[in-house]
Amino acid sequence: MAKELNNLTIAEASKGLKKGSFSAVDLTESCLSAIDKKETEIGAFLEVFKEDSLNQAKKIDQLLAEKKKLPSLAGIPLAIKDNILIKGYRCSAASRILENYVASYDATVIDRLKKEEAVFLGKTNLDEFAMGSSTENSAFHLTRNPHDLEKVPGGSSGGSAAAVAAGEALGSLGSDTGGSVRQPAAFCGLVGLKPTYGAVSRYGLIAFASSLDQIGPLTKTTEDSLIIFKAISGQDDKDATSRPGRFNKKLNIDNLKIGVPSQCFQEGVSKEMIKWTEQSMNRFKELGARVVSVDLPSLMFALPAYYVIAPAEASTNLARYDGLRYGTREKANSLKESYTCTKSAGFGPEVKRRIMLGTYTLSSGHYEAYYQKAQKTRQLIRLDFEKVFQKVDIILTPTTPTPAFSIGEKIDDPVSMYLSDLLTTSANLAGLPAVSIPVGKEGSCPIGMQLIGAPFSEEFILSAGHYLETPL
């Protein structure tokens, strides 16, 4: 074959399996071989399920031999971010405090992928508790960008992105709270989808900020992204925030209206990203779409609002990690000392920083000044998007304000790191679907463009993204 099996797309691999061009074991072994060759320098995985993945692949081959009709993800090797629970396997969220925690149940997305007969290769690295934009905050090791080993892969789903970009998996799952699927997808040259809030169940996802978190796929193409999204989406009785959604509008490129917010060209967005935005606008125009400038005045307040709301929710969610019920527990002479020692030793610097920020903004005397104002700003952001979607079908922005930055460049400057989320947090605050599409390269660094759609328009924005994507 022209491609190594591990470099196939999910759609290509599924067709090949059903035709008998290769076996599920061949496909899985190809990915495991890439892991053996590349993991030392990339560090995408925290744990590899070598024996179990091969056993699952053998099961698929048996079903194929029996001429069973199989779903599109049957036999497809996938990587899973290590804040999503798989029963019987460790799930650490890249934190020392959960270093030895073994999941006692499956996340809903895992249950649905198991029904699809997908093969799980292992758990991928992330910023601790999904808090970060570079995967440098993992308690265990660094992950590098496969396109340039001196660059970060993005975060917090950096391991999931790096695994797919390096050919170590055909697709992966990540989680997106403020850009944590889309930003690493952009840095690693992948398609990264953040679904509508509620489109995918959060049951079994270790919570960071519950009103913002969403699980989404990282893949090589928009076609693959839609395959995984259809498999994992849908209402779930175990998640009260999940809901069925319907967006019936079909894409017609000749009638497509794309809005580009003037705020995308604000200070902080690099010249390279502005250039690629203009190129993407021109590509859509050449295809017959209409591209217009729109105004999202509240967009400039999205990042500060996010960095009030997300830490506030995190401080509440992470209060449960006390060492008494699960996770690491430090020896101490009293209950209070046990709490203090356990959390001091178990949480890393970035997690501690966000817990303190969140606790402060929720405290008496500061709640109205910070948290309440941030929630009001969130509502203004939602209203601004609603107004714009009365005029256009899709919003186009750069995914990130700059191409991938160097390892160590921002780790000691939290504010600079937080600015990496400048263009992605608004979709989380408004609960909208958004996707990062690879459109080219700037030197060694892939460039991603973001398409934001109306609620439950995942298929619509992926179809539009297909016209932009340049597989790397």
Annotated catalytic residue: which of 14, 30, 72, 81? 81
* Contact yes or no for 435/193 (Cβ under 8 A): yes
In the chain, count H helices and then E strands: 15, 11
Cα atoms in the Cβ-side hemisphere of radius 13 Å centred on 99: 14
| SS3 assignment for 321-364 | CCCCCCCCCCCCCCHHHHHHHHHHHHCCHHHHHHHHHHHHHHCC
C-alpha distances in angstroms, 290 versus 259, 458, 464?
Answer: 9, 20, 13
CA-wise closest residue to 200 among 233, 170, 168, 237: 233
Distance CA 448, CA 189 (A): 7
194-231 in b/e form (b: 16+ CB < 10 A) is bbbbbbbbbbbbbbbbebbbbbbbbbbbbbbbbbbbbb
- Element of type H or E holding 123: strand 119-124
Residue 180 among the catalytic residues = yes
Distance CA 274, CA 388 (A): 21
- For 235, other C-beta atoms within 10 Å of its C-beta total 12
Q: Which residues pair with 219 in a beta bridge?
A: 171, 191
Residue 138 among the catalytic residues = no
Distance CA 183, CA 194 (A): 11
Annotated catalytic residue: which of 14, 180, 242, 457? 180
Q: Determine the residue type at 280.
A: S
Beta-strand relationship, 445-452 and 394-398: antiparallel
Distance CA 167, CA 204 (A): 27
Annotated catalytic residue: which of 14, 138, 156, 242? 156
CA-wise closest residue to 48 among 23, 24, 80: 80
Distance CA 64, CA 58 (A): 10
Catalytic positions, written as ranges: 81, 156, 180
